[in-house]
A and B are shown apart, each in its own frame.
Chain A
Amino acid sequence: MMARGADVIVVGGGLHGLSAALHLSLRGAKVLVLEKDYSGRHASGVNAGGVRRLGRDLAEVPLSVEAMKLWHGIEQLVDDDCGFTRCGQVLVAETEKELDLLRTRAASVVALGFDHEEVIGASELLELVPAIAPHCKGALVSRDDGAALPFKTANAFRRKAEALGATVLTGAEVTNVSHADGIWQVETPQGRMDAPVLVNAAGAWGGKIAGMTGDPVPLEAHAPMLMITEPVAPFLTPVLGAAGRTLSFKQFDNGTLLIGGGFKGYADTDINRAETRLSGLTESARTVQALFPQLRDVRIVRAWAGLEGVLPDMIPVLGRSQRWETAFHSFGYSYHGFQLSPITGKIIADLVTDGQSDLPIDPFAPERFV
């Protein structure tokens, strides 16, 4: 059988793979995305939808700011509003000490030349979130941050990439990649696919593919958990986190509450399974109860976990292979890759077509682990 060909093969049809495909297609490249399940089946379709610059690792801030500009005009990029709302993100301080830490944090973001994070006191917090428990001292806020609908977003990116000429093959698990005569040979159950350029956007499985391109990284698969409640009367506009706890909390238009916050379930990438863990769900419930005691009788109707690739320093691998000029990586977004997805594809496209990116991506190089 003749191998199918393309200019670029992208492994992984999650948001980062689709974003790469979209931006590469915009530049006229013929892109083939290989996805073992379907687009949005994993982290990209089941995450909390938080579109947040707030509180990010400082190395990510410049990228996150650029991504935010794309989110604010997301419809221009993908012809779909992705359910994005500019509802703001708020990180609550429950003690004076936490509030001080947030002040220091805000100052370090300003020092980088950005002004999206600001500290507010207790009274202004009450205006923003009237239902918050009275002991809260203040918060770090980023008013133009927001939230979007993950599955809708993943679908929109896929459709737009396809409209621009990219092909997304589902049920196409990449079992091996090898390099011969300047061509990447990619094995799948649907046959061998060939291309001169390879992009690894395999999410929690990214470490496996990186191993095949000679870029070993210590990627771990985690299973962050989320819970959703029955609908309650609207009381919360921004997405809420807490400085001293792991929490991500928001209310949808239909009144249901989404409760997340980094508690881990069980992950097994070999069998595509992410499972919830009771102790973590309990912790999340306790956190919400502490901040919103009035919600005690609200019922949880669904809980789930998704598979996420996590690196020891909690920032992704994004950049060129240390071994091959023609292999690129974009994976391991460590619990917060949804917001970054519109920009990472552009960075990959810049690297592939121009050999470099304007954005500071050195901290994300795969060789940082050697």
Chain B
Amino acid sequence: MTMDVAIIGAGPAGLSLAIGLAKSGAKVAIIDEQPSPGGQVYRAAERNADATDLLGWLGPDYAKGAALVAEARQTDGITWRMASSVWDIRPEEDGCELGLLTAGKTSVVRAAHVVLATGAMERPTPFPGWTLPGVMSIGAAQTLFKDSGLLPEDGVVLAGQGPLLYLFAAQLLAAGIKPQAVLDFAPKWAAPSNLPLLARATLGAAPQIAKGLRLRAEIKRAGIAHHYRVERIEAHGADALDRVTFRHKGGERHIETSLLLVHDGVISNTHASMAAGCAHDWDGEQAAWVPRLDDHGRTSRDRIWVLGDGARILGADAAVLQGRIMARSIARDLDPTTPQDAGRDQSDRKALQRLATLRQFLDRQYPPVPAFSQPPDETTICRCEAVLAGDIRALVRSGCMGPNQLRAFCRAGMGPCMGRQCGNAITRIMAKEAGREVSQIGHFTIRTPLKPVSLAELANLEDADP
């Protein structure tokens, strides 16, 4: 056995865990397919550490990432495997075997415990016209921004719902880009029924609530048309986007644009935990599958753990806290004589609880866009195999009861993305059409490889322990 612990994902969750574990003396490896640590939120934090402009545009929370990354880099005893994607997770009797792909070469890492800190992904946003060139997700646009400083042009339209919608609009404004409009599916203010929760969230997480309000104020101050309670959008254009139509306050409206960026919140990226064969449950509040975990983050499979947004969306600050808590749990699993630090554990868990309350408010205030959950029949759902919402509904009516059977019937989820992109949408469409609970419909069985590997890469697999 080579490693005590292998962590997949060097975002705030994985980094914080790696620091804690290395300090306790464990032999830990941290693996991420990105070239440098930071995860989604602190993507390219090291490289951008001196890019004053970019740092200013991305805001103070992003700058915080550089400190976390630096702390991890300075901690002794962490083996770094960046620019390496994990494409296979194989539970074995005495631990776990990971298949890595690094610059065209495959290798194996073995560890007694494997932690999945694989973070979040954007919820799919199928609507008529969403596959046209010129329509993109806000997450993808933000990634280009963080990675390469690439910015959209004036006139871009933002649509969808959720905190990232506001954050990205504000980041664009800071960089001097003026979006044409924000088509917001959420209401402007919290519903009265949600106010008690808002009050509790504010008590525990005032800075975060204030940040949200500040972002919206910035959009308003810049004079951007911010439409709340949008009901529907469609993208139009012959070969590429030229026009967006939307329904607002009972009327049909349109905007000319060549770039539409869409976002419908983030969901746990459960690809790795599903491929590892861990049990999952449907989380109604987050409208997503989440791994079934105990209080410490243990999955249903021995020696496999999950934390951070991959466990349930709680945000970057919560991910750091979870990393500290889990470091203590795993240290005690590795060596039961490790002294317990009940005091710290309790205060970390309390802080985590405050963030959970904030998240509960956000989940209720920003539920998934109904128009994206149940798009019209002619909407493409599986982009890899060009399967329409109507195809899926017809198969459900003819008796197809779950995503895996659907896959055999119409190849939905069989393309290169293996259902990563469409899985959440397909499950919800099937459940609605069948009139059943999503939990009864189930999810795609996820198979290896987690990322496509070429024949040559696979053929060259070396049994290389780091």
Do B99 and A285 have beta carbons less than 8 Å apart?
no
Chain A residues numbered 270-284 whose CB sits less than 8 Å from any CB in chain B: 273, 275-278, 281-282
Across the interface, name the chain A residue whose C-beta is closest to B98: A278
Known: A277-B90, A289-B459. Contact between A303 and B448, CB under 8 A? yes
Interface segment among B73-81, B168-176, B280-288, B411-419: the answer is B411-419
Chain B residues numbered 73-132 whose CB sits less than 8 Å from any CB in chain A: 88, 90, 97, 99, 108
Q: Which of B414, B447, B454 contacts A299 (CB 8 A)?
A: B454
Chain A residues numbered 247-301 whose CB sits less than 8 Å from any CB in chain B: 273, 275-278, 281-282, 285-286, 288-289, 295-301
State whether the Cβ of A302 lies closer than 8 Å to any Cβ in chain B.
Answer: yes
Do B452 and A300 have beta carbons less than 8 Å apart?
yes
CB distance from A181 to the nearest CB of B (A): 38
Do A278 and B90 have beta carbons less than 8 Å apart?
yes
Do B277 and A300 have beta carbons less than 8 Å apart?
no
Known: A276-B448, A282-B459. Contact between A299 and B277, CB under 8 A? no
Known: A151-B408, A275-B277. Contact between A282 and B461, CB under 8 A? yes
Do B416 and A301 have beta carbons less than 8 Å apart?
yes
Q: Which residues of B contact A229 (CB under 8 A)?
A: 455
Q: Which of B416, B447, B459 contacts A230 (CB 8 A)?
A: B416
CB distance from A127 to the nearest CB of B (A): 25
Q: Measured between alpha carbons, how far is A273 from B459 in the docked complex, in Å?
A: 25
Q: Which of A151, A278, A296, A299 contacts B461 (CB 8 A)?
A: A278
Known: A278-B461, A301-B415. Contact between A230 and B452, CB under 8 A? yes
Do A299 and B459 have beta carbons less than 8 Å apart?
no
- A interface, by DSSP: helix, strand, loop or mixed? mixed
CB distance from B415 to the nearest CB of A (A): 7
State whether the Cβ of B458 lies closer than 8 Å to any Cβ in chain A.
Answer: yes
State whether the Cβ of A304 lies closer than 8 Å to any Cβ in chain B.
Answer: yes
Do B458 and A302 have beta carbons less than 8 Å apart?
no
Q: Which residues of B contact A298 (CB under 8 A)?
A: 454-455
Do A300 and B456 have beta carbons less than 8 Å apart?
no
Q: Which residues of B contact A275 (CB under 8 A)?
A: 90, 277
CB distance from A225 to the nearest CB of B (A): 10
Q: Measured between alpha carbons, how far is A133 from B217 in the docked complex, in Å?
A: 66
The count of chain A contact residues (Cβ–Cβ below 8 Å) is 27
Q: Which of B88, B277, B452, B456 contacts A301 (CB 8 A)?
A: B452
Across the interface, name the chain A residue whose C-beta is closest to B405: A38
Q: Which residues of B contact A278 (CB under 8 A)?
A: 88, 90, 97, 99, 108, 461
CB distance from B2 to the nearest CB of A (A): 15
Do A297 and B447 have beta carbons less than 8 Å apart?
no
Mark contacts of B429-466 with chain A using CB atoms, 8 A cut-off: 1 yes-contact digit, 0 otherwise. Answer: 00000000000000000011100111110110100000
Q: Which residues of B contact A299 (CB under 8 A)?
A: 416, 452-455
State whether the Cβ of A238 lies closer than 8 Å to any Cβ in chain B.
Answer: no
Do A296 and B455 have beta carbons less than 8 Å apart?
yes
Do B277 and A273 have beta carbons less than 8 Å apart?
yes
Q: Which residues of A contact B449 (CB under 8 A)?
A: 300-303
State whether the Cβ of A207 lies closer than 8 Å to any Cβ in chain B.
Answer: no
CB distance from A261 to the nearest CB of B (A): 13
CB distance from A334 to the nearest CB of B (A): 24
Q: Which residues of B contact A40 (CB under 8 A)?
A: 408
Do A285 and B90 have beta carbons less than 8 Å apart?
no
Q: Which residues of A contact B108 (CB under 8 A)?
A: 278
Q: Which 9 pairs across A and B sit closest by C-beta, in order of nearness?
A: A296-B456, A285-B458, A299-B452, A285-B459, A151-B408, A282-B461, A286-B459, A285-B455, A289-B459
**Chain B interface (Cβ within 8 Å of chain A)?**
88, 90, 97, 99, 108, 277, 405, 408, 414-416, 418, 447-449, 452-456, 458-459, 461
Known A276-B448, A282-B459, A299-B453; further 18 A-B contacts with Cβ < 8 A: A38-B405, A45-B408, A230-B416, A278-B90, A278-B108, A278-B461, A285-B455, A288-B455, A296-B459, A298-B455, A299-B416, A299-B452, A299-B454, A301-B418, A302-B447, A302-B448, A303-B448, A303-B449
